[in-house]
Amino acid sequence: MIYLSESIFILMLIITMAGALTTVLSGSVIYAMGGLVATMFGIAGLYVYLNAPFLAMMQILIYVGAITILIAFAIMLAGPFYKRPKEWTSVGKFIAALIVSIFSFFMFFSFIMKVSWNEGKGVFNLATKDIGRALFDRYAFPFELISLVIVVSIVGAIMLAILSKGEK
């Protein structure tokens, strides 16, 4: 019998895997970005399932919100894709990618099986309120520095778009 919690976990896994497959296998960059959003929402759902609401909200705010918007800006600023030559793919590249993927999987699996997984010493009890206080008290400067870097990159992308339109 499948319990509700197991079915929610399976649903989050399906959302994450479907989004990842859409990201990797889609022919369109826009569809790939949509798949990336679905993957990130699925990962946030897994964080909620693992009782980590702070990580889930940061996943949604940072990855689904900010990073997806930056990728959308990059897609819009890159220009039309029909003017660029298509990448040539061959059977050899596919076979090489498959071999590297299978080799990586088996190396990862053998590493995981060799590690002795001991039970932790206790529950790490930290509330979201404590994390927020630490971000704005002890780590205020790095927090603001990251936001400044993001703003500068957006302004730089806008300036590049304006200057490239003047050259055409």
How do residues 53-69 score in pLDDT, each as one tens digit? 888 998 898 888 888 88
pTM over 0.75: no
Give the pLDDT band of residue 15 (cuts 50, 70, 90). Answer: very high
Structure tokens at 26: 């889609």
Q: 40 with 10: CB under 8 angstroms?
A: no
* pLDDT at residue 126 tops 90: no
